[in-house]
Amino acid sequence: MLIFRPIIRRLEARGHEVVVTSRDFAQTIGLLDRYGISHRPMGAHGGGGLRGKARAMTSRSSALAKMVRQEHFNLAVAHGSTDQPVVARLAGIPQVTMFDYEYAVAMHHLNGRFATRVLVPDAIPERALARYGIRSPKLIRYPGLKEEYYLADEIPDPSSVITELGLDPDLVTVVLRPPPEVTLYHRGASTDVFAQVVDRLEAERPRVQTVVLPRTQDQREALTARGFMVPEQAVDGPGLIAASDLVVSAGGTMNREAVALGVPAYSPFAGRLGAVDARLIDEGRLHRLEDADDLTFVRRERTAAPPMRDPDLLLELILGARDTARRSRAGDPATMGA
């Protein structure tokens, strides 16, 4: 969701009207409200089963299609959506799909084929996406991490999160993000390492304070019962990371936010490692966690965040999809995508 904050700001500054749609899952609605991004709810997450996901996709797609019929749109853009590319294609609207994990197979067979343009980090090789029908010139690989773009406008201030959550600045602070257990690409993978991390953090109290950002209500209840700090409301994730000494996240985005902000990050993700995280591990900027005993709980030195990237680059790549669609309608074979 945060990837679009600087994009929305720049589009509106140019006089464009932006409509944001949302679905009720995890902290999405709360974060949109927190950051002052107006949005239209369009259904909810379908849960962990294929049948539930199919029902949820049908419901959201129907709601999107109804909105598109009633209003006029010139461009659609989404990160990791299966609904929007299909609806946009049927409505004749140029659509930009973004993602940064190449092994969400079911998702990319849909969004990759229906999108006008696909934007991914340059760590993902083109050959990894060919099976989804994603090739140049439809495919554009941008430099760096998406997190380096959306954190560029506002480097997080940890002080407000420390005050909001009542954190003790003299203790070691760990941010913990559970596995995405309901995602298709993670279902069935082992969560043993994450369970070991929870046990280890519990044993390290009180010198280590742990803030948990759960994905589901079951996770919230279980980890609250273990005595961890589980915020009731959506918190400023980047601000919390900036306030922390260590991030352990079984999902990619929070780890990459930590990398972008120069905070040590560990991934117990048990699914297939994507190219973005593989590159970060090779560079020593992210650590793959296979044993909870490998964690060291110490206060980190607070230094300036590493350099970020200009969101204007992503904006121009997104807007360029309109020209691609016009050339495609004119029959230019160089712009025809799968």
End-to-end CA distance of the chain: 27
Distances (CA, A) of 287 to 173, 237, 244, 282, 337: 18, 20, 16, 9, 37
Q: What is the pTM of this model?
A: 0.88
- Which band of pLDDT confidence, cut at 50, 70 and 90, is reported for residue 337? very low
Which has more pLDDT, 79 or 330? 79
Which has more pLDDT, 330 or 88? 88
Question: d(Cα 327, Cα 335) in Å, to the nearest integer?
Answer: 7
Distances (CA, A) of 122 to 1, 78, 238: 20, 18, 23
Q: HSE of 156 in the Cβ direction (CA atoms, 13 Å)?
A: 29
> Could you give the 3-state DSSP secondary structure of residue 311?
helix
On the question of a common fold for 2-151+310-335 and 158-294, the answer reads: yes
> Could you give the 3-state DSSP secondary structure of residue 16?
coil
Task: Please answer whether residues 311 and 149 qualify as being in contact, where contact means their C-beta atoms are separated by less than 8 angstroms.
Answer: yes
Residue 245, number of CB atoms within 10 A of its CB: 20
Span 2-151+310-335: which CATH code?
3.40.50.2000
- Which band of pLDDT confidence, cut at 50, 70 and 90, is reported for residue 30? confident
Q: Tell me the per-residue pLDDT of 208-242, one tens digit each, with 9 for 90 and over.
A: 999 999 988 889 999 999 999 999 988 999 999 99
Question: d(Cα 271, Cα 278) in Å, to the nearest integer?
Answer: 12
Of 219, 228, 221, nearest to 251 (Cα)?
Answer: 219
Q: Tell me the per-residue pLDDT of 269-312, one tens digit each, with 9 for 90 and over.
A: 877 899 999 999 999 999 999 999 999 999 999 888 899 999 99
**Domains of the chain: which residue ranges?**
2-151+310-335, 158-294
Q: How, if at all, do strands 208-212 and 172-177 pair? A: parallel
How are the residues of the chain apportioned to helix, strand and coil, as percentages rounded to the nearest 5? 45, 15, 40
Task: Please work out, in degrees rounded to the nearest 5, the angle formed at the alpha carbon of residue 77 by the alpha carbons of 74 and 82.
Answer: 120
Fold of the CATH domain 158-294: Rossmann fold (3.40.50)
Residue 64, number of CB atoms within 10 A of its CB: 22
Residues across the chain: 338
Task: Please answer whether residues 322 and 74 qualify as being in contact, where contact means their C-beta atoms are separated by less than 8 angstroms.
Answer: yes
What the block records as the tokens of 288 is: 């793959």
Of 251, 252, 254, nearest to 238 (Cα)?
Answer: 254
Task: Please answer whether residues 130 and 109 qualify as being in contact, where contact means their C-beta atoms are separated by less than 8 angstroms.
Answer: no
Task: Please answer whether residues 44 and 24 qualify as being in contact, where contact means their C-beta atoms are separated by less than 8 angstroms.
Answer: yes
Q: HSE of 31 in the Cβ direction (CA atoms, 13 Å)?
A: 18
